[in-house]
Structure 1
Amino acid sequence: MRLIKATLENKALLKNLYSFYLHDLSAYSSSLKPNSEGEFEFDSFEKIWERDGITPYLLKQNQEVIGFCLLLEPPFTKKVDYCINDLFIYNQFRGRGYAEEAIKTIFQEKQGSYYVCQLKNNKRAVGFWKKFYEQHHIAYEESIELEDGEEVLYQTFSSKNMIVR
């Protein structure tokens, strides 16, 4: 699995990936609805290409795109260095360790303090992150916040000096 920075050439591809990602999230949030063309849209999508501090990555297995990750850093992160804001893998590639591999690659390249968040009722995502922390002996602090009427779990931790294999 390779993690490749997305460029403007990948804009249409990333927009399509976001639609699938938001479709999946709509199972856990009543506020996510398709537009009049039947697509799920990320309302701040254009900011990815216009603002510093937002880095989109494509996840590739061989030459095939299997998902994406969106990494935030200052000025979007205030109390930590980085945020893994969104992480998506097509259904057919899930459960093969690709998400874990992508996260470990990011941690190796960008050591520092992080936060990640999941919708509280998205048990699959919550379970994935908790398992990741446990397997890699990551101490984290967790809080619950209400965002747009949804309960969101936030975990903060450090990747500094973490050994990732």
Structure 2
Amino acid sequence: MTLSVLPVSPAEHTLLRNLYPLYLHDLSEFGGGYSLDAEGLWQPDYLPYWLSGKEGCHPMLFRLDGRPVGFAMVGQAPFPFMTPGRDFHLSEFFVLRGARQHGVGRRTAFALFDLFPGTWELSQLSSNQGATVFWRRVIGEYMGGAFEDTTLDGNPAQVFDSRKRARISP
């Protein structure tokens, strides 16, 4: 199965707008303030910011054999929502449920870290223990265990430099 991880083109904005509510629906299980408004739209909705073309915003789309299976939002310094001294912040990461447990998340994470070499920070909602387990495992494998497990705004977080990657095949 061929996996691609590419920047979202303007022609794919509608596709991302269709995928994004699925991600917010999944997040709502863990709190974090995600809920439906009176018109049934998910709030808060940060997608307009990501699609604005602002410097440092990298919306990325994942495709498996040409079909969309997820996305990531990568912030690049000087991105306003990250710790000074970091190069990249993985703000949002989503893989469709049907593509989970098949290595898609791991492979896309590895691809993102390779595409954007530098010091990364990621954080998870503290109530989303599955995400924390996933990221510790994936980053640990990617980095050969060389990462910092810390907190960011009271949530579990990981910090590492992808330029120092442990070279393992995906």
TM-score of the pair, normalised by structure 2:
0.86
Q: How many angstroms does 1:145 deviate by? A: 4.1
Question: What stretches of structure 2 of length at least 5 have no aligned partner?
Answer: none
Q: How many angstroms does 1:142 deviate by? A: 2.8
Deviations 1:135-155 (A, max 9, x none): 231322233344xxxx42121
Q: How many angstroms does 1:38 deviate by? A: 1.9
The answer on whether the counterparts of 1:138 and 1:157 sit within 8 Å (CA) in structure 2 is no
Equivalent runs, 1:143-162 vs 2, <5 Å: 143-146=150-153, 151-162=154-165
Aligned partner of 2:126 among 112, 120, 132: 120
Aligned partner of 2:73 among 63, 70, 74: 70
**Secondary structure, aligned partner of 2:58:** strand
Q: How many angstroms does 1:107 deviate by? A: 1.9
Q: How many angstroms does 1:71 deviate by? A: 0.8
d(CA) in 2 for partners of 1:144, 1:40: 27
Which residue number corresponds to residue 57 of structure 1? 60
d(CA) in 2 for partners of 1:66, 1:143: 29
Which residue number corresponds to residue 87 of structure 2? 81
Instruction: Give the letter for the 1:132 counterpart.
Output: V
Identity of matched residues, %: 24
Change (3 A) 1:91 1:161: same
d(CA) in 1 for partners of 2:102, 2:12: 24
Q: How well do the aligned residues superpose, as a CA RMSD in angstroms?
A: 1.7
Which residue number corresponds to residue 17 of structure 1? 19
The answer on whether the counterparts of 2:117 and 2:162 sit within 8 Å (CA) in structure 1 is yes
Q: How many angstroms does 1:68 deviate by? A: 0.5
The answer on whether the counterparts of 1:18 and 1:42 sit within 8 Å (CA) in structure 2 is no
d(CA) in 2 for partners of 1:42, 1:98: 27
2:148 matches 1:141: yes
Instruction: Give the letter for the 1:107 counterpart.
Output: F
Aligned partner of 2:99 among 80, 86, 93: 93
Q: How many angstroms does 1:164 deviate by? A: 4.2
d(CA) in 1 for partners of 2:91, 2:115: 17
Aligned partner of 2:117 among 87, 111, 116: 111
d(CA) in 1 for partners of 2:44, 2:75: 15
How many pairs align? 161
Q: Which consecutive aligned stretches of 4+ in structure 1 deviate over 4 angstroms post-superposition?
A: none
**Secondary structure, aligned partner of 2:139:** helix
